[in-house]
Structure 1
């Protein structure tokens, strides 16, 4: 057992608890509040009035798929030979031994939703993992958790360079529609086959898309520009599938329309330069504008674009742009957990949830010199400064 005492606890499930305590047993939170008595056999961590938060969560990144400090040898996020690769699985490309994992949990990020990049129209499946471990199979929270699709400049640029389709936004949309229609037909044939001899021939690409059609996982739509966001929503409606709007860079320009859609937004990466045309309107105002309109917002680093350990810095810059403190915290804790459907396990400090907890020396959103004091994942102290 682990017992944390004397902390200022941001539970993300209610009021901030001053001088609060948390009791952890077998990887789960079993008590939270004041005046909790520490069991005699518990490892005691005195937070000494430090800030205690749930482990931070990035709902869209590529952790472990582009390794630090090397080039092609560690570049495993984009299979740029075919614009349709739904059968690619992030778990087969992630290297959890990469230094970026240690830096992530030392920075307070305990969960990463990671997967393929945006070179392809359909890139493959994302997975949700804890950031501590040496074998990816033992780090998984849910797999698959989403199917990556991409709109805008990236698929155009990649395949224009190969002199093949898609070279336009029209072709990107057409390829996605065509593939989803084929997957729908494939599923119908499987479901209507009364005997094995009438089953369609096995198709690994179509099989990978069945969870999308059954609404077991959403499309995870890379879409920066307003017109690309609308195209993503249009296609999701046509095929009656779930979708999250990832990046949503121009979301603040179309907020009235997005409110009608009732879809969450995973916003970022906002820090850094405008590296391509579709980022010309990126702004730290976006989380504030969307949140105040009632849209559920998570903030992403899009790691390795921004190293994952700087997720609280990104939330802090959104707070500096007007997002309230509590909403900035929510954007890297409970909101991403809810957006990806893992709120029953992570995202807040509540009884029964995974004991993913971070203790900070300062305020992680406001103090640039703030350092992590302790990181706990699944009830285990994985870092102590």
Structure 2
């Protein structure tokens, strides 16, 4: 591709790179032009005329990719270094807390945000943990900023639900429901039934012009019922994965299968469901019964079956800055290089519903860009630069010793 740009504003030209647009084949000796925070052009020869204030970044033959996307973590909510004071991950009072919003708890000052930027990660999905059957609303964020409102890509991007051991142990251990998998499923179904009735009543009242008293908790379910956002289902064991699929199908909902630890054992069924899988953290220990079949091969088996997959760190369960290495291990165990890169860029962005903004290097998209010394899936590779919205927010020569 040859591009000719006439421009009189500030530009950044990244050149001498192996450009992985993630929307087509890699471009050796390629360049990326950034203008006013957006990608203006991508190709081998980008001609500039009357360009003022041009900043050139020589990638020195390194790899240029879209900023990496972390599809499931708890960054800014389970903060590093500060212990319980900085842990806002789970509200252990009632198993149904749909109205909680991660955006109200994320601390942009969490040191893990710098670690993410230093790894080329520019987008994260963060939110409540898995202690509750319904945990609250995840948020999709950029990783650079101090004002959370300016970092948000999608404020209520998914509604967290959880199956299996975590809700069972957190409430069953107190002598209250849910103490069984049956109770978890029943509670979720009942909540969705009530929310659907609430939605029907609200629509009928609006159509008739009658007053309708809104319920804040019920309102949190409506984007899910309308198909605007997915359920974000914490599922490890095969039976829990299938229960989540069954419930989502009963109500006609969108859903992501998060962790999906035993997904490789039921790959055909997961593929038939049409739901994507966010796999990980595969480097964590087998610390409980439901992760006894944990393996890096899961993502590759699912992808070969036709499932869209993303790789996640579940930070701080495993550290967010090693997301490219987790993807590299999945590549080695069957996902392959192309699949692994997609799982932390375009595929992850698509699963999160933010692919209109990030995930690929295409004109018009946000200039969130990672420049690596080589293949980011390899342990010896360094992040040279990270750009968010066209701004260089990490420069290894400047920030690497932090």
TM-score calculated relative to the size of structure 1: 0.97
Residue of structure 2 equivalent to 1:29? 39
Post-superposition shift, 1:292? 1.1
Residue of structure 1 equivalent to 2:99? 87
Residue of structure 2 equivalent to 1:371? 382
Post-superposition shift, 1:229? 0.5
Post-superposition shift, 1:96? 0.5
Residue of structure 2 equivalent to 1:60? 72
Task: State the distance in 2 between where 1:5 and 1:343 align.
Answer: 24
Q: What does 1:220-239 correspond to in 2, within 5 Å?
A: 220-239=232-251
Report whether the alignment pairs 1:98 with 2:110. Answer: yes
> Which of 7, 11, 17 is the matching residue for 1:7?
17
Report whether the alignment pairs 1:151 with 2:152. Answer: no
| Root-mean-square deviation over aligned CA pairs | 1.0
- Per-residue CA deviation, residues 209-256 of structure 1 (Å, 9 max, x unaligned), is 111111111100000111001110111111111111111110100011
Report whether the alignment pairs 1:380 with 2:391. Answer: yes
Q: Tell me the number of residue pairs that the alignment of Structure 1 and Structure 2 aligns.
A: 382
Corresponding residue SS for 1:104: helix
Residue of structure 2 equivalent to 1:317? 329
Residue of structure 1 equivalent to 2:84? 72
Corresponding residue SS for 2:335: coil
Report whether the alignment pairs 1:203 with 2:203. Answer: no
Q: What does 1:245-256 correspond to in 2, within 5 Å?
A: 245-256=257-268
> Which of 356, 362, 365 is the matching residue for 2:374?
362
Residue of structure 1 equivalent to 2:350? 338
- Per-residue CA deviation, residues 308-350 of structure 1 (Å, 9 max, x unaligned), is 1111010011112122111110000000111121111110111
Residue of structure 2 equivalent to 1:111? 123
Task: State the distance in 1 between where 2:272 and 2:14 align.
Answer: 43
- Per-residue CA deviation, residues 29-69 of structure 1 (Å, 9 max, x unaligned), is 01000111243421110111011111100111111001101
Corresponding residue SS for 1:124: strand
Residue of structure 1 equivalent to 2:28? 18
Post-superposition shift, 1:4? 0.4
Residue of structure 1 equivalent to 2:339? 327
Point out 4+ residue stretches in structure 1 off by more than 6 angstroms: none
Corresponding residue SS for 2:186: helix
- Per-residue CA deviation, residues 165-209 of structure 1 (Å, 9 max, x unaligned), is 100000000000111111111111111112444x2x332110111
Task: State the distance in 1 between where 2:348 and 2:40 align.
Answer: 23
Task: State the distance in 1 between where 2:364 and 2:75 align.
Answer: 27
Corresponding residue SS for 2:46: coil
Post-superposition shift, 1:21? 0.6
Task: State the distance in 2 between where 1:100 and 1:263 align.
Answer: 30
Task: State the distance in 2 between where 1:4 and 1:282 align.
Answer: 40
Task: State the distance in 1 between where 2:367 and 2:329 align.
Answer: 27
Corresponding residue SS for 2:191: helix
Corresponding residue SS for 1:335: helix
